[in-house]
Structure 1
Amino acid sequence: MEKGDEMESLIAKALQLETEPVALLYSETKPEGAAQFAPGTVTSCVMYMLASAAKGKVAVFDRKTFGCFGGGVGLGFGNTYEQFPGGVPGFCRFLSSGNESAPTGKAIGEGMKAAGVPGSFVEMFLHGERYKKTPELADRFVNELPMADVSTPYVVMKPLSQVDPEKDKPVSVSFLVNPDQLSALVILANYDRPGQENVAIPYAAACQVIGILSYNEAASGLQRCLVGLTDISARKNLKGQGLSGKLTFTVPFRRLCEMESQVPGSFFEKETWEKVVS
């Protein structure tokens, strides 16, 4: 990592990355001019803000502006599934077979319609996203998430080039990558380490991979890298952002600094990589 007034990523340069790497930070203060969801907006996707940050815009979230309920979980604002219509059981049915047959499910759905909630969300609430076969499996998924309650009022997404190395302390950095770039990052993550578990593809919402799952890795000894955006709901939302062919590759910041130092002398300087990107 080249440090001056700003951070420049040798990895991003070697990858010929089309967008900025995005740093995720805990913050006591709200960055001036940052993009932010309106309070109470529960159908917006955190990944819209990741896309914005990858294009150079700072984004900020707090406990009233995290987008959807999964986004609150993903960013580390506690178990916001408890705020989902019908609570955690309502969410587990939403993720699986739907709420229509639940004792109060249909009434909640009708209430959402009357309140002007988008019809697509109501349909999913009643009939399920079908990402888990049963509510019981969905409940187990929720229980196994490394729920976090960040100690700061804000979580910030910032283009890595705008990170102040004297003031900012990123938790993790996410790259938006195509298959060739993903391949190179997987190799680099294993280049200076033994074993075959230095990169993982967890089953979780896209925001949870770049958020709480990366927080968990940052606090661990192994500090694995995580591949994300396998969440098709998030992929649907990003199609209009020109990022439909991308996945995320998220790296705990301390591990990123190690990986940055490995670029010189690595495969990035060899003919094979030149042929891949040419």
Structure 2
Amino acid sequence: MNSQLVDALKLKMQPVAVILTNDKPVDGLHFREGNMGGCVAAMLVAASKKSRTAYFDRNTFGCPGGGTGLGFGDRYGRFPIDCLLSTGNKEMAAQMGSAGPVMAEGERFYKNPEVARKWVNSLPITDIPTEYVVFKPWEQLTEQDVPKLMVFFVNADQLSALVVLADYNRGTNQSITAPFGAACQSILYGYAEGEKDNPRGVIGFFDISQRSALDRETLTFTVPYKMFQEMEANVEGSFLDTHVWHKLQKRQ
């Protein structure tokens, strides 16, 4: 597919389309059924860096946070996510094998389990209507593909451009959100934005436990596909055509 926006950004990592479908991909990366240790964020990075399609269903989504982030409903269930995200639980850790040390200490993203539970309750949990979620790298997209979301991997300059362009024809200064979540859960927030008349772009990959999957300069910017199309239509004549942006490109 051709895109003036993608060309103008000069990305080092290619964007990834999130596609919802009932058709199982013929080939692609996927977790074995029952693999609770699989990381959806790592698959997203692989789709971008290695140009590999990846796919998931309700039996192959990896960890509970990944299943929730992909839109397979609330997959936390009885998993003590409130303890994991906060101060830990040593009794539970003894039953968790290799994940035990992390549970014992907790990730300390929230002050205590009660605050962490408030975060869980704030998630825009959804159950998508399709069987599969597919990550498809930009260079493999065809005109027949209908993405639900687009995920960009960007540095500070590129993120700045996307933030500015998101509000280019709106003037609301309310076109961006940056919620905390697991590294893959910008997808979940992206779904929620896609239901709005004026969706926002979602800045993400703030999950400290997964930041090592990317270099220190990179974050994600996730947009519903209809917002991507809106931004695409606004590239011509915008600041992306000016010498100021071209000057910034020289240092990327």
Does the pair score TM above 0.5? yes
* Structure 2 equivalent of residue 250 of structure 1: 222
Residue 192 (structure 2) pairs with residue 225 (structure 1) = no
- What are the residue-to-residue correspondences of 1:67-82 with 2, within 5 Å? 67-82=62-77
Residue 43 (structure 2) pairs with residue 59 (structure 1) = no
- What are the residue-to-residue correspondences of 1:27-106 with 2, within 5 Å? 27-55=21-49, 56-82=51-77, 87-88=78-79, 90-100=80-90, 106=91
| Superposition TM-score, scaled by structure 2 size | 0.94
Residue 68 (structure 2) pairs with residue 123 (structure 1) = no
- What are the residue-to-residue correspondences of 1:1-278 with 2, within 5 Å? 7-55=1-49, 56-82=51-77, 87-88=78-79, 90-100=80-90, 106=91, 108-113=92-97, 118=98, 121-166=99-144, 168-209=145-186, 211-236=187-212, 238-239=213-214, 243-278=215-250
Deviation at 1:223, TM superposition (A): 0.7
Give the percent of matched residue pairs that are identical in Structure 1 and Structure 2.
41
Deviation at 1:40, TM superposition (A): 1.9
Larger Rg: 1
Q: Which runs of 5+ in 1 are unaligned?
A: 1-6, 101-105
Q: Which amino acid aligns with 2:211?
A: R
**The structure with more helix, counted as a fraction of residues:** 1
Deviation at 1:233, TM superposition (A): 1.3
| Superposition TM-score, scaled by structure 1 size | 0.86
Deviation at 1:131, TM superposition (A): 0.6
Q: Which runs of 5+ in 2 are unaligned?
A: none
Q: Which amino acid aligns with 2:58?
A: R
Q: Which amino acid aligns with 2:74?
A: N
Number of residue pairs aligned between Structure 1 and Structure 2: 249
Q: Which amino acid aligns with 2:3?
A: S
* Distance in 1 separating the partners of 2:2 and 2:54: 19
Q: Which amino acid aligns with 2:68?
A: V
Structure 1 stretches of 4+ moved >6 Å: none
* Distance in 1 separating the partners of 2:142 and 2:244: 35
CA root-mean-square deviation: 1.4
Q: Find the residue that maps to 1:275 and give its secondary structure.
A: helix
* Distance in 1 separating the partners of 2:122 and 2:229: 29
